[in-house]
Structure 1
Amino acid sequence: MSESLRRARVATFTLFGTCGFLFGMWVVHIPAIEAQTGIDHATLGTLLLVLGVGAIGGMQLSVPLADRVGSGRTAIIAGLALSITTIGPGLATGAWQLGFALIVFGFTMGAMDVSMNSHAVDVEKRYGRPIMAAFHALFSVGGAAGALLGASTLAAGWAPATALLAAGVIGIVTVTAISRWVLRDPVRRPDESATAEKAPRRLSIRVLVLGGIAFALMLSEGVANDWSALQVKEHLGTPDSVAALAFGAFSVMMTIGRLTADRVSGAFGPVAVIRYGMLIAATGILLVLISGQLALTIVGWALFGLGLSGSLPQIFTAAGNLGSSSASANLSRVVTIGYIGFLSGPAIMGWISQVIPLTAAMTVPLVCALVVAACSGAVRRTPITVHRTHSSLS
């Protein structure tokens, strides 16, 4: 194994970790920014949907850019842009300002998400064995670090703008440091190299199925990211610094699950990872629904994170190894469909919370978890998929 490939793997870990860190810092400041701008839950939900629109736009831009300059370079550009735009939500003092800041922040987040996942698929192909879940684990590590740092700055009385500015500087320094380690060219399988340019770029049934599963998974993850802290604060009456522990517990268990998911998938297959993982997730969110105690509620969010942890990497690996068109295009389609859930889900939760309590609205991710568990057979590996995965070794 070459030193350049090892460095590319480290660079990919770093990109995922940085993205998670910046996103985590934003998430734990949501309650403070909501109060700073004077908006209610419904308005916040709508603005989170605006963030999603920006993310989808960024995803669409990242595909042709990755095809032209490579997924690695695109991820570096997007990472620097995301670091810069992280401060925007912290500066907002009203709904319109926050909306503008979130659409820009979402655009750069979407571009980084697709490009770093595309780069991860390229690195995984060269390694020739499952390593995707470990990359996603670093996103969770970054998210946990951002949650813990954000909770500390909130407890210390830092303004959101100050904390997010510091996070952005950290992101710029980190991404710049590994910018020379990414892969310089896209990686294609032998069956793609001769036909990728001629392949029609249309949605296949397999992509739609994977996208539908990604939609439900990312909707559930988005709910936890954007509403876990607010759920604890509203339901149990805790201060912001304590409520942030819900997202921290979720992120930590996502990390633990993703660090082991590659081995579990290799031993038992992706169907088992998704089926039993989502049953664990359903158990966790059920605890959140029925618990009136802080410790039990935190345990519920932790179990929800553990259950969700290994599923999405299985979907992204499957999408990145479809041979019907370019890997970047397929991955972008699945991620885009998933992101519609990731960011429309929290918006829907905001609207629902105007009618019923936020905790009761957590029935939505509970139903999603059960549906995904029931549909887990859709990601069963086929002989051709296995063959293609191994052919990347040659």
Structure 2
Amino acid sequence: MNKSMGINVGNLRNKRIAIGACYFVPGVVFASWASRIPDVKELLHLSNGQLGSVLFAIPIGQLLMMAFSGILVSRFGSKKMLMLSEFLYAASLFAIGLCDNVLHLIMALVALGMMANLMNIATNTQACYLEKLYGRNIMSSFHGMWSLGGFAGGIIGALFAGTLLPVSVHFTSVLVASVIIVALCFRNLVSESLAEAEDEDVPKFSFRSVDPTLILLGVMGFGGMFCEGTVYDWSSVYFLTVVKPDAAFIRAGYIAGMGAMTLGRFLADGFVTKYGPSRVLKVCGLLILGGLLLAASLPYLITATLGFLLVGFGISSSVPICYSVAGKLGTMKASIAITIVSSISFFGFLVGPPVIGWLSELSNLRIALSLAACFGLFIAFVAGKVGKRIR
């Protein structure tokens, strides 16, 4: 029986808006930090090498929290943990604005990473519960809201950077706005009683009973996030050093990839509902494969930009679909299933950029991107295996 029968359409819509806002806010927070990195670097007189070392504090924080996020969400509920993590995530940004030495900055960034991991599990668990209530796929559109938040945060950061106001004023403004938005959303999040009803028939977690499908979803997520990190960190470098267009077009590949990723996330749910997650994941993998090979084999402005556009569409939905399928498998609680998949996936994002750097040192960046394209083929192949299991 569909448990959403007792909830009217208006309430479902309100819950979708509330959860969407809870994806949008961290997108703004993260982009606010990213847009002001040069200012923080200058304020603390950091060299490029020192900044690179400091930036490792965020993934370290995520790794520290990884073992506890699923347990906390399962124990205290995704609604409470979402509120707590979103507030502390924005508060960590505020703390960054107050840092006057490297040690304090590292501590604030570790906290930012820890809250990012907890928030990732809580928000995706909320989205998964609402998907079940809706009875159709809506996960990718939520990730699209994070991307929109990233665009908005980048614009806000640029506006603040153009003023004489200190970074702390910018980050304080983001904190205040985030707290207000999340507080307004709280009452419309999926309640713990509804969440418990969705998990009432789910067996207790045991490492011995981990569904192998979750591992397959995790490795697909790994491949998707490996390529996503590659676009974030290397697309502009590729244009600068290999494509060598006019200065105005150095970021063309990055903009094309990010724009396609955002649009793809809003379009993907309809395709998943119509064709199923396995087929869409296959297409995502082939788009990644074709896009990276096109950019690497034809390093010209139009073809390379088109290549990263295709990659953006490919990476847009691969990870959200994996989270969605994991949360609805029913072999364990949604929060634990999503934690397993996201933990495996995260390592792709962590190791992807440095591996591309090492490969480019051993050969060149074109060959490195061509090798990264193999993850697209891998995703398309594994998607077929997952499709047989979930059917």
TM-score category of the 2 structures, normalised to the smaller one: 0.7 to 0.9
Q: Choose which of 206, 215, 227 in structure 2 pairs with 1:200.
A: 206
Partners of 1:171 and 1:191 in 2: CA distance: 29
**More displaced stretch, 32-41 vs 18-27:** 32-41
Name the SS of the counterpart of 1:323 in structure 2.
coil
* Closer, same or farther: CA 265–354 of 1 in aligned 2, 3 Å: same
1:8 — aligned with what?
15
How far does the alpha carbon of each residue in 1:319-348 deviate from its partner, in whole angstroms, 9 at most, with x for none?
112222222111111111111222232344
1:330 aligns with 2:333: no
How many Å separate the matches in 1 of 2:94 and 2:358? 26
Shift of 1:115: 0.4
- Counterpart contact for 2:31–2:154, Cα < 8 Å: yes
| Counterpart contact for 1:46–1:350, Cα < 8 Å | no
Q: 1:174 to 1:192 in 2, by over 3 A?
A: closer
Say if 2:77 is the partner of 1:70: yes
Q: How do 1:170-319 and structure 2 match up within 5 A?
A: 170-185=177-192, 187=194, 192-194=199-201, 196=203, 198-202=204-208, 203-229=210-236, 232=239, 236=244, 247-289=254-296, 297-319=304-326
Equivalent of 1:140 in 141, 147, 154? 147
Unaligned runs of 5+ in 1: 387-394
Q: What is the CA-CA distance between 1:273 and the residue it aligns to?
A: 1.2
- Answering whether residue 106 of structure 2 is matched by residue 99 of structure 1, we say yes
Could you report, residue by residue, the CA deviation over 1:133-182 in whole angstroms, capped at 9, with x for unpaired residues? 11122122222222343445556687665544443333223222212211
Q: Which amino acid aligns with 1:333?
A: I
Aligned equivalents of 1:226 and 1:87: distance in 2?
25
Amino acid at match of 1:103: V
C-alpha contact (below 8 Å) 2:92/2:112 kept by paired residues? yes
Q: 1:377 maps to what in 2? A: 384
Match of 1:85 in 2: 92
TM-score (norm 2): 0.82
Write out per-residue CA displacement over residues 215-274 of structure 1, whole angstroms, 9 at most, x where no aligned residue.
1112222333344455556665987x9766654443321121111111111222222212
Cα deviation, 1:260-318, whole Å, max 9, x if unaligned, reads: 11111122222221222222223333454456666655444333211111222221111
Name the SS for the 2:20 alignment partner.
helix
Q: Structure 1 residues 8, 114: CA separation in 2 closer, same or farther (over 3 Å shift)?
A: same
**TM-score relative to the length of structure 1:** 0.81
* Structure 2 CA distance for partners of 1:280 and 1:44, relative to 1, 3 Å: farther
- Retained in 2: the 8 A contact 1:265–1:273? yes
Where does residue 115 of structure 2 map in the other structure? 108
Q: CA deviation at 1:184?
A: 2.0
- Superimposed CA distance per residue, residues 5-29 of structure 1 (whole angstroms, 9 cap, x where no aligned partner): 3222111111111222222333444
Contact 1:222 1:345 (C-alpha < 8 Å) held by counterparts = yes
Q: Are the counterparts in 2 of residues 232 and 238 from structure 1 also a CA contact under 8 Å?
A: no
The range that moved more, 68-77 or 244-253, is 244-253
8 A contact 2:74–2:336 mirrored in 1 = no
Take 1:160 and 1:223, find their aligned partners in 2: how far apart are those partners? 28
The 5 Å alignment of 1:18-97 reads 18-30=25-37, 38-40=46-48, 47-88=54-95, 96-97=103-104
Tell me the distance in 1 between the aligned counterparts of 2:321 and 2:340: 15
Could you tell me how far apart the structure 2 residues matched to 1:221 and 1:155 are? 29
Q: Which amino acid aligns with 2:219?
A: G
How many residues align structurally? 381
Distance, in Å, in 1 between the alignment partners of 2:326 and 2:299 is 40
Using the TM superposition, give the Cα deviation of residue 358 of structure 1 relative to its aligned residue in structure 2, in angstroms.
Answer: 6.1
Q: Aligned-residue CA RMSD in angstroms?
A: 3.5
1:44/1:250 CA distance change after superposition, 3 Å: farther
SS at match of 1:370: helix
User: Where do 5+ consecutive residues of structure 2 fail to align?
Assistant: 1-6
Percentage of pairs with the same residue: 27
After superposition, the Cα gap between the structure-2 partners of 1:73 and 1:190, relative to the gap in structure 1 and judged at 3 Å, is: closer
2:3 corresponds in structure 1 to none
Residues 128 and 327 in structure 2, CA contact (< 8 A), matched pair in contact too: yes
Q: Deviations over 1:94-153 (max 9, x none)?
A: 765543332211111111111000000111111111111111221222222223434455
- Provide closer, same or farther for how the CA distance between residues 283 and 116 of structure 1 changes in structure 2, counting only shifts above 3 A: same
Aligned: 1:128 with 2:135? yes
Paired position in structure 2 for 1:346: 353
SS in 2 for 1:310: helix
Q: Give the distance between the partners of 2:154 and 2:312, measured in 1 at CA.
A: 14
- Contact persistence 1:253–1:302 (CA under 8 A): yes
Select between 314-323 and 249-258 the one with higher mean Cα deviation.
Answer: 249-258
Q: What is the CA–CA distance in structure 2 between the aligned matches of 1:187 and 1:152, rounded to whole Å?
A: 42
